[in-house]
Homo-oligomer: A and B are copies of this chain.
Amino acid sequence: MAQLAGVSQTTVSLVLGGKADDVAISAETRRKVLGAAERLGYVPDPAASRLAAARNNLLGVFSFTATFPTDVQHSYYPFLVGVEQEAAAQGFDLVLFTGSSTGGARAGAHALHRARLADGCLVLGRHAPADQLRRLVDDGFPVVHLGRRDEPEGLAWVGADYVTAARAVVGDLVARGHREVVLVCEDDPVPASTDRERGFHEGLLAAGVPTGPERVHRCADPERDLTPARLRAWLAAGVTAIVVEETDTSAAWRALNTAVSDAGLDCPRDVSLALLGSPPPDHEGPVPTGFDLPRARLGAAAVRALAALVAGGRPDEPLVECAFRPGATVGPPPR
């Protein structure tokens, strides 16, 4: 390549690496190099440039569930929409590390290490092994986790602002006159869950409604737990609105809806329901009041954060705002 252009390998590197601005290279030489590169279809080897301690404009994407699962419901597709757009905007290509989920031959104790091929790495899915992540982080390798995460320490993340979003939903309930509100959540103390719970309490407190742990109903098995009987007990105790945490399966939301109709009740006439998240794709009936996760924007924000890290800077605001979704499942308290 260098020979064909009639220049040294250094010059090629300078021109193609964009360092031509800093070092000053004659337009003539530049033209020669670019011309030759084009004719040959020459592109610097990313592994080589990586090895020589430069960057290769590659961002890795590691997902600990199939990136394109057959079951679209749990897919990262919506995130990737934003990831791709922002990566393109920032001049990065994406490396999809495959098979990290399938537990195949490549999913070893060091699967994450493959990420080092790229300049930095995005990690999706909360099943990413903390020890492997820690190693990357400790080595100063740029990693951004999609979703709030406390471990390992020092890991950068980008997540949805569940606290604010939940607060807004509860605020809406209180503004409509509800005072006795209950939170139903599944028993899985991940940040996404505890954040919503915090927002729930904050929303009530901000409106001057006293709250406490007694308002939170944690259930391991929503189907057996959220029965018509339980529902009637709540109503009898004065509860007028129920807030449900969204989970992968939406089990609690489904169970509660079933319980309402099985009890011969109507939502929102007899009881108001709010969903802290998006309804499942197969949801029927009125749109649940709640909030939507801005998945594409989250993906984009993650890429921006990662780009900042790669460039040697610090990512800024890790929280992305959720959009309040006015629905049809909340009304004034009965009577």
A contact residues vs B (CB 8 Å cutoff)? 38, 41-43, 45-48, 50-51, 56, 58, 66-70, 72, 77, 80-81, 83-85, 87-89, 91-99, 102, 104-106, 110, 113-114, 116-117, 135-136, 139, 141, 296
Q: What's the least CB distance linking A90 to chain B, in Å?
A: 9
Contact A91 B105 (CB under 8 A): yes
Q: Known contacts A84-B68, A93-B98; is A47 also within 8 Å of B117 by CB?
A: yes
Q: Which of B38, B51, B88, B104 contacts A88 (CB 8 A)?
A: B104
* Chain B residues, Cβ within 8 Å of A56: 46-47, 117
Contact B88 A50 (CB under 8 A): no
In this complex, the member of A41, A70, A139 whose beta carbon has the largest number of chain B beta carbons within 10 angstroms is A41
* Chain B residues, Cβ within 8 Å of A95: 58, 93-96
Q: What's the least CB distance linking A177 to chain B, in Å?
A: 38
Counted per complex, copies of this chain come to 2
* Chain B residues, Cβ within 8 Å of A68: 77, 80-81, 83-85
A-B contact pairs, 30 of them (CB 8 A): A41-B113, A41-B141, A42-B113, A43-B110, A43-B117, A45-B51, A45-B116, A46-B56, A46-B113, A46-B117, A47-B48, A47-B50, A47-B56, A47-B116, A50-B117, A51-B51, A66-B84, A67-B84, A68-B77, A68-B80, A69-B81, A77-B77, A87-B98, A88-B98, A93-B95, A93-B96, A93-B97, A93-B117, A95-B95, A96-B96
Q: Known contacts A81-B68, A84-B67, A117-B47; is A41 also within 8 Å of B94 by CB?
A: no
Sample of 10 more A-B contacts, CB < 8 Å, known A47-B47, A47-B117, A50-B117: A41-B136, A42-B113, A45-B51, A46-B56, A47-B50, A66-B85, A68-B81, A70-B296, A89-B99, A94-B98
Residue of B nearest to A90 (CB): B98
